[in-house]
Amino acid sequence: MLVNLDNGVSINPDYVVITEWIEGEMPLDGHYRLLKITMSTGAIHHVDASKRGSRAHLIALKIQKFHRDQEGLFE
């Protein structure tokens, strides 16, 4: 299973180590929010979540669901 990011990159959720939400203020643009995805290879992907209609929440849910389903296999 691959998860497609907004920038055209597809990632395998099996290699995702950490997902985290990053929020902050910018002097000119106001507020920003990113989904940071860290892979086991050391690669880091950012998905902009501050835009209206962003798929960042759906991407995070797909990754979490994949890991929950994988945990169920080992019980």
pLDDT per 10-residue tile (average), the chain, 75 residues? 90 95 84 92 93 87 90 67
- Write the CA distances from 72 to 29, 30, 47, 65, integer angstroms: 43, 42, 28, 11
Radius of gyration of the chain (CA): 14
The pTM of this model reads 0.81
> What tokens does 21 get?
């939400």
